[in-house]
Amino acid sequence: MRRDSLPALFGRGLLSAAATWKALLVGLALNAVLAAVLIRPLATALHQTLDRNPSADRMMTGADPLYVSNFIRVRPDVLGDVGRLEDLVTGATPSYTSAPATLSSLVPKEGVAGSTIAFGLLSAALAALLAGGFAGRFGATDDRTSLTAFGADCARFALPSLALGLLSAGLIVAAWRWIYVGSGLLYDPDDFRYEWQAVALQLLRFLAFLVVAGMARLVVQYSRAAMGRSGSTNVAAALGRGLGFVLSHAAGTLTLEILFGAAGLLPLVLWGFFGTPWDGAGRSEFWILLGLQQLVLLVRIAARMAHLGAASAWLSHAADGRAPLPVRPEPASEAA
């Protein structure tokens, strides 16, 4: 089997991620701390609302939509303005007209809705910082298990990795706004004779968004891998290498993106089929469920980093026989 075949690259990515298992556990722990800080105030508000009482009984039955709407209005600290999330996703104004709304009017600021936005932004920033460290370790020739070297790489590539993450997020948001949402404003679904025609066109719009967003992520992914291999913090040079490689291997890189994306979604699918909510009765069941949830998250983090490892391995193989990228000096460190 060729070393640059997709199955071989998939396996090499998994092996690269496994070699950095200490750093994966650090990423899992940091994510848990971030989640605990953001969710604790929300959990307190939910306990005050949903603990057994007549108000909670009316809300949990879902038989009175007007009561739920009034509750959201009276207690914005619990759920927040959930309707704004829908407006943010669809790009429509609260009146559902085609006129675009301002960003400040769409972003919810309280409750579950506000915490979702804050958690997503902070998680993306943390992921970008850690990805710089993983890119450095995947580009190294040895000492991949060292937490000291991983921390040094996180610090060295912090700013360029954040810049690449910001670029990726901006491109994806722009693709959603102008390719999916923008194209939906060009026609009225009620004008179609059959409903399936409107559904098919919506799916085609969504597929076009996925392709564009996937290519944007790939350019950033391979740029980060090239930066880790060379040891240079020059973002422009890394983007040039990443863009050139993705454009010259568009089908292969997109297929690899789909494979690792499916690997990351698999634990969520299994949890959806076999996972059970905690009934609040026993502490032992709570810790078991918490451990399984963290295992699901660990697999997802490993799948994302394995994709970065496969990108680094593919760039390394492509450089064989040509002038190699400058190899950065390894910092003297003991394995953590």
The secondary structure of the chain, three-state, reads CCCCCHHHHHHHHHHHHHHCHHHHHHHHHHHHHHHHHHHHHHHHHHHHHHCCCHHHHHHHHCCCHHHHHHHHHHCCCCCCCHHHHHHHHHCCCCCCCCCCCCHHHHCCCCHHHHHHHHHHHHHHHHHHHHHHHHHHHHHCCCCCCCHHHHHHHHHHCHHHHHHHHHHHHHHHHHHHHHHHHHHHCCCCHHHCCCHHHHHHHHHHHHHHHHHHHHHHHHHHHHHHHHHHHHCCCCHHHHHHHHHHHHHHCHHHHHHHHHHHHHHHHHHHHHHHHHCCCCCCCCHHHHHHHHHHHHHHHHHHHHHHHHHHHHHHHHHHHHHCCCCCCCCCCCCCCCCC
Could you tell me what percent of the chain has a pLDDT over 70?
70
In the predicted structure, residue 330 carries a pLDDT above the cut 70:
no
Cα 179 to Cα 208: distance, rounded to the nearest angstrom? 7
Does residue 327 lie in a domain region? no
Identify the pLDDT of residue 329. Answer: 53
Reply yes or no on whether the pLDDT at 278 is more than 80. no
* Residue-level pLDDT at 280: 63
Mean pLDDT, the chain, rounded, equals 79
Instruction: Look at residue 279 and tell me if it is in a domain.
Output: yes
CA distance 185 to 99: 10
Q: Above 70 in pLDDT, residue 313?
A: yes
Lowest mean pLDDT among 109-113, 215-219, 242-246, 298-302: 109-113
| Residues spanned by the domain of 226 | 6-319
How many Å apart are CA 260 and CA 165, to the nearest integer? 19
The whole-number pLDDT of residue 75 equals 64
Residue 335 lies in a domain: no
Work out the pLDDT band at 118, boundaries 50, 70, 90: confident
Q: What is the pLDDT of residue 95?
A: 43
pLDDT, position 35: 78
Global pTM reads: 0.78
Query: Does residue 57 belong to any structural domain of this protein?
Result: yes
pLDDT tens digits for 212-252?
A: 999 999 999 999 999 998 888 899 999 999 999 999 999 99
Give the pLDDT confidence of 168-208 residue by residue, as tens digits: 999 998 898 888 888 887 888 888 888 888 889 989 999 99
Write the pLDDT tens digit of every residue in 128-142.
Answer: 999 999 999 998 877
More confident residue, 257 or 91: 257
**Structural domain includes residue 336:** no
* Domain membership flag for residue 200: yes
Least confident among 41-45, 228-232, 272-276: 41-45
Query: What pLDDT digit, counting tens, does each position of 234-245 carry?
Result: 999 999 999 999
Q: Is residue 252 part of a domain?
A: yes
Domain count, the chain: 1
> Mean pLDDT over residues 65-69, rounded?
61
The answer as to whether 148 is a domain residue is yes
Does residue 255 register a pLDDT over 50? yes
Confidence of residue 325 (pLDDT cuts 50, 70, 90): very low
Statement: residue 47 has pLDDT above 70? no
